Amino acid sequence: MENEEELGAKFVATYYRLIYRCPSAIPKLYDTHAILRRDPPKTNFQICLLQHELIPFKPNESIVKIFRYVTYSAGESLVVSVYGSIFNNLGPKMFFQQFMLKKNGLVWLIHSDIFYIFTSQTNEVLYGIFEQPQPPAFTPIQQPAQSQQIVPQFKRISQSAKRYDNFDPEKTITIINLPNTYNGNDVVAAFRCYGNVTSKYFTHNTVYIEFENEEEADAACNSRLPLNMPNNSHIKVEKGIAQKESRGSFPVRK
């Protein structure tokens, strides 16, 4: 596969530049470079669900800020995840958009296009129609050849020397109620899609992550849980230092 970071950067630049400079070209883009079970989007690129208009997304009335995008390969496909915010007369809203691209000859085609809008109270799936099952979110997980998945034991290693109680609460999230089968480093890796992790600390069934700024911590806290693993219904993500270290836990530092 070609350089995935370069392909992702070109795709993000082309896609969002078209939305603002030439929105009428968006339907043509999906007609010629997409395989999707849906009608082409309208000229003003309205976000729709089941053909019911929810948010009019008009380039001349909205401002989009891209905070971060992540590109990785998933088999023969390329997954591009974009996180940012939309500002319009309805107020600011954070969004997450994920594309799955597949190469057909010399051309890359859009095989899925999923759009989420996040509020401070809930995660609203406003738009998302895709041809194939949704790809793994953010971090691809390798499955063993055996029919039964082998899950590694939770490891409290390779963490920051700084203790969690010295983290900045405004830039920190706490993931609690993790089963013993979860690997702490894998949990941190899954949350890196929201921003730069400056510090991490693992205790029994709990992971503390400090981001570079408050916006990244808010995004990680308010977004859908990016862990593509079973039995995660009891896992909670809270803003700040939400749980003290349990007695008898001796995490290993670098």
Q: For 117-159, write each residue's pLDDT tens digit.
A: 765 554 444 444 333 334 334 444 454 455 444 444 443 434 5
- Compute CA distances 252 → 175, 190, 234, whole Å: 18, 21, 26
CB atoms near residue 163 (< 10 Å): 14
List, in order, residues 6 or more apart from 20 with CB less than 8 Å away: 59, 64
Give the pTM. Answer: 0.43
Q: For 62-73, write each residue's pLDDT tens digit.
A: 667 788 888 888
Q: In CATH, what is the architecture of 143-254?
A: 2-Layer Sandwich (3.30)
List, in order, residues 6 or more apart from 233 with CB less than 8 Å away: none
Q: For 6-62, write each residue's pLDDT tens digit.
A: 888 888 888 888 877 777 777 788 778 887 644 444 433 333 333 333 344 555 556
Higher-confidence residue of 213 and 95: namely 213
> Which residue ranges does the chain devote to CATH 3.10.450.50?
4-130
What pLDDT score does 195 carry? 81
Please report, to the nearest 10 degrees, the dihedral formed by the alpha carbons of residues 211, 9, 84, 23 taken in order.
180
List, in order, residues 6 or more apart from 133 with CB less than 8 Å away: none
Q: For 148-199, write each residue's pLDDT tens digit.
A: 444 444 434 345 567 888 899 999 999 888 877 677 777 887 788 778 888 8
Q: What are phi and psi of 121, to 5 degrees?
A: -100, -35
Q: What angle do CA 106, 134, 49 make, to 5 degrees?
A: 100
Rounded Cα distance between 98 and 69, Å, is 9
> Which tokens hold the place of 133?
């099952």
- One-letter amino acid for residue 111 of the chain: H
Rounded Cα distance between 40 and 43, Å, is 9
What CATH number does domain 4-130 carry, 2.40.240.10, 3.20.20.70, 3.10.450.50, 3.40.1360.10?
3.10.450.50
Nearest alpha-carbon partner for 133 in 100, 93, 162: 100
CB atoms near residue 223 (< 10 Å): 19
> Which residue ranges does the chain devote to CATH 3.30.70.330?
143-254
What pLDDT score does 97 carry? 84
Q: For 74-93, write each residue's pLDDT tens digit.
A: 888 899 988 888 777 767 77
What pLDDT score does 119 carry? 57
